[in-house]
Amino acid sequence: MTSVWLVRIGGSRVDASLGTLRCLLSVALSARFMIFANHILTATAATFYSIRSSASVRPPLPTGYPTLVAYNAPHLPSPSTSRAHLSSFPPPPPTPPPPTSMSFDSLPDEVKASIRANQQKQKEKKTTKAKKQRISSPPRPPTPALPPNTRATITAREYHKEAPYRFKDETVPPTLSSVPLLVNAARDPTCNISECSYFQFHGTQAELWEPAFFAFLAHSGFFVITDEVDDPLPELQPFYGVLTPAAFEASPHNRKCLKKLAKEMAREGSCPFKLMDSSADADRCWAALEAYHGERNEHNWLSRKYLAAMEAATAKRGVNYRLHIIEMMSGGEVVAAEFGFSCGNVYTSLSGWCKRSKERLGEVQLCLLGRWLFRSGFKFWSLGHCYVPEMVYKQKLGQLVYERGAFLDLLAEHAGPFVGGGAERKFGLEVEGAELLLAAAGAKLDVDS
């Protein structure tokens, strides 16, 4: 027989080993008596382990401890009985040998025919599923070769190093005749003015913001911003970001974005986005732009005075300049807006804003806007500053970096004359996103997918 420990706690008896007894005593005693209890338990355990079935004398236990009883338990099997009991179980089944490999040619003809039929069925199933999910589109146009005096990208350091100076001469008035003089001098690499990017004219506030002069600066290639005191600061950039229709359609980023929108439209049955020209409601649109940049950048260079000059230039008859404020609607509210202008067949972006969301509304707005611009007949989209990484989103759109002289030649080719007729409206007042997703030549949407 085997000696077993029992602990009587709360009127019940529990079988326990020496380690269990040690834990129980540790819990029953306070921390200050822990060492003392371990000494007692070690001493008493040596005595109790020597007790056999014939033992009749039990050592006394200290008072205040749980009752420990050692007695013979005939119902428990001996070690030899346990081993015999375990040996009575049948041995585990033998591990089956690994399956032998069989070549396809060695199979019977009917089995080979069945395997081929099953493979063909799975292939047809995948093909049918792919056709249902596919949106037919024109073949991807090849990436256009870079024109002369252009490059694919430019860093901010390279950009600012090319023309780091500012031109200011009190003898140069803000008149239409002064503009071509500065443009020609800036294009001449032998003239030190070619190392300037900002050009300040000397005149009164009324002369600096005169609508015809303001529009002529833009028509001549100047990207006008405002300085610290809200005066116009024309910039003749050393490099310009240019986006052509071919480069826009060849951009993997644009194709992926538009394809995703088309798939969502096929699944939902409609496109939630709509573009509209809200130039007639300029005050409301500008207030949203001011709030956005005031919160994020603490400054909005497209001031209210700047917007007033754009409106006055657009209203001036015989001037080839038109203001555009293009908003993107979704669910009945404005989620993004773009401020720009057009001269002939050239559209130029100035500023904008969009709501932050997981749908990447800014990317959606630019891709739909590009489709709308090029479908409406614009020859290229001037994106302004083009250096990376600050303007990397323009590089994703497919921009090419034009040097100053190459850009001014391209602008003169497509902008048309400045005097003699106002800029024609190239697009309507609004367009649905679904119509823009189908705007590419030959593009069709399988709404059953």
pLDDT tens across 113-159, in order? 998 899 999 988 888 877 766 655 556 656 667 888 889 899 999 99
Residues 249 and 393 in one domain: yes
Residues 318 and 280 in one domain: yes
Residues 224 and 199 in one domain: yes
What's the rounded Cα separation, in Å, for the pair 148 and 402? 9
Q: What are phi and psi of 60, to 5 degrees?
A: -70, 150
What mean pLDDT is predicted for residues 71-86?
46
How many domains is the chain built from? Answer: 3
Q: 208 in a domain, yes or no?
A: yes
CATH assignment at residue 310: 3.40.630.70
More confident residue, 341 or 73: 341
Overall pTM surpassing 0.95 (yes/no): no
Q: What is the pLDDT of residue 20?
A: 60
Residues 229 and 248 in one domain: no
Q: What is the pLDDT of residue 441?
A: 36
What pLDDT digit, counting tens, does each position of 35-48 carry? 555 556 555 554 44
Residues 6+ apart with CB under 8 A from 256: none
Q: What is the pLDDT of residue 266?
A: 86
C-alpha torsion sign, points 16, 17, 18, 19 = negative
Domain boundary among 38, 56, 81: 81
Q: Would you state the structure tokens that stand for residue 31, as one six-digit string?
A: 């921390």
Q: Is 61 helix (H, G, I), strand (E, B) or coil?
A: coil
Domain boundary among 214, 235, 256: 235
Are the C-beta atoms of 243 and 381 separated by less than 8 Å? yes
Of the candidates 213, 211, 212, which has an alpha carbon nearest to the alpha carbon of residue 172?
Answer: 213
* Inter-helix orientation angle 178-187/211-219, to 10°: 20
**Bridge-partner residues for 388, per DSSP?**
155
In the chain, what is the greatest distance between 2 CA atoms, to the nearest angstrom?
A: 128
What's the rounded Cα separation, in Å, for the pair 154 and 337? 27
Residues 6+ apart with CB under 8 A from 257: 363, 364, 367
Residues 293 and 432 in one domain: yes
Give the residue numbers spanning the domain of 46.
3-81
The torsion of the CA quartet 174, 312, 206, 341, rounded to 10 degrees, works out to: -40
Q: What are phi and psi of 309, to 5 degrees?
A: -65, -40
Residues 296 and 410 in one domain: yes
- Does the structure show a pLDDT above 90 at 445? no
DSSP conformation letters of 287-332: HHHHHHHHHHTS--SS-HHHHHHHHHHHHSTTB--EEEEEEEEETT
Neighbours of 151 (CB within 10 A): 13
Residues 270 and 222 in one domain: no
Residues 274 and 385 in one domain: yes
Residues 300 and 400 in one domain: yes
Q: How confident is the model at residue 70 (pLDDT cuts 50, 70, 90)?
A: very low
What's the rounded Cα separation, in Å, for the pair 198 and 185? 13
Q: What is the pLDDT of residue 154?
A: 93
Q: 38 in a domain, yes or no?
A: yes
Look-up of token digits 């200011």: 168
C-alpha torsion sign, points 187, 193, 199, 200 = negative
- Does the structure show a pLDDT above 90 at 27? no
What's the rounded Cα separation, in Å, for the pair 183 and 54? 119
Residues 312 and 414 in one domain: yes
Residues 431 and 353 in one domain: yes
More confident residue, 427 or 183: 183
What's the rounded Cα separation, in Å, for the pair 342 and 425? 9
C-alpha torsion sign, points 274, 272, 369, 234 = positive
